[in-house]
Amino acid sequence: MARILRPALLAALAFMATQPTLAADLTARQVTEELYKASEDAPLDFSKRDLAGLDLAGLQFKKARLSEANLFGADLSGADLTEVDLSGAMLDRVVAIGARFDRAKLAGASLLRPTTTSSFETIRGEAPSFTGADLTRARLFGVFSGGSFAGARMAGATLAPHNDTGFIEMLWRSRLDSADMSAADLSGANLTHVSLRFANLKGTNLKGAVLKNADLSHADLTGADLTGADLSHADLDSARLSGVKGLDSATGIATVRNRDKAIN
C-alpha cells in the first residue's frame, strides 16, 4: 500500500523537485554499504564530501566524520547521527524527521529550513533530537518544536531570521515551542523572534543572549541565567521566572510584553 504523504513533507519534496540535479560524490547505495561495514571503533571519514540530495534515511552513522560535508537536501529521516562529527557541515533543507543528533559535533554547522515533521502541526516523536550536541556558533532556522536540546552547547548560535526582520517567505521565525532546552548553554545566542512557547528552559544559560521579540509565553525559565540578556519586546505571558538570575541586569525590560503576567 502506498504511503500517504502529509502536506509538509509533500511541500518539501515539491521544493526539492524544482532544484537542479545534485551530483554527489557517492551514491546512497555506496554510503549505505560503507556504513554497514564500518564500526564505531573505526568510523568512516566523509569529511568535505558532497552527499547532497542523497536518501540516507534510517542509516546508522556509527560516529562517522562528516565535518564540512555537503548534505544539502539529503533525507536523514530516522537516521542515527549520535556523536557524529558534523562541524561546519551544510545541512540546509535536509529532511530530519525523527533524526538523532545526540552529542553530535555541529559547531559552525548550517541547518536552515529543514523538514522536521510530516505535517504542518507538531507530531510527538517526529522532531529531531540534539541532546548534548555541540552547536556552538551554528546557524539554525526552522521548526524544531518538541525537539530536545537538553544540555546542548549553543553559545553564539543564531536562530534568528537572516535579515533579523522576522519576515522570510512563509516561515518568519524559528519555532521551538515545547522544546526541551533545559541546562543548555545559549550564552550570546541570537534568539531574535524565536518562538519558545511552553519550552523547558530550566537552568538554561542565557547570559548575553539576544531575545528581542522572542515569544517566551508559558516557558519555564526556573533557575535560568539572564544576566546581560536583551529582552526587548519579548513576551513573558505566564512564563515561570522562579529563581531566575540576572534579570535585573537584562536590557529592554521596560519594553517586555506581559511582564505582569509572568509567574515569579
pLDDT digits (tens, 9 = 90+) for 145-199: 999 999 999 999 999 987 655 544 456 799 999 999 999 999 999 999 999 999 9
Q: Which of 209, 218, 228 is nearest to 176 (CA)?
A: 218
143: its cell numbers: 521548526
- Rounded CA-CA distance 76/115 in Å is 10
Which residue has 524544531 as its cell numbers? 144
Question: What is the reported pTM?
Answer: 0.87
Start-to-end CA distance of the chain, whole Å, equals 53
pLDDT digits (tens, 9 = 90+) for 39-98: 999 999 999 999 999 999 999 999 999 999 999 999 999 999 999 999 999 999 999 999
One-letter amino acid of 112: L
Overall average pLDDT of the 135-143 stretch: 97
The mean pLDDT value of the chain amounts to 90
- What pLDDT does 61 receive? 98
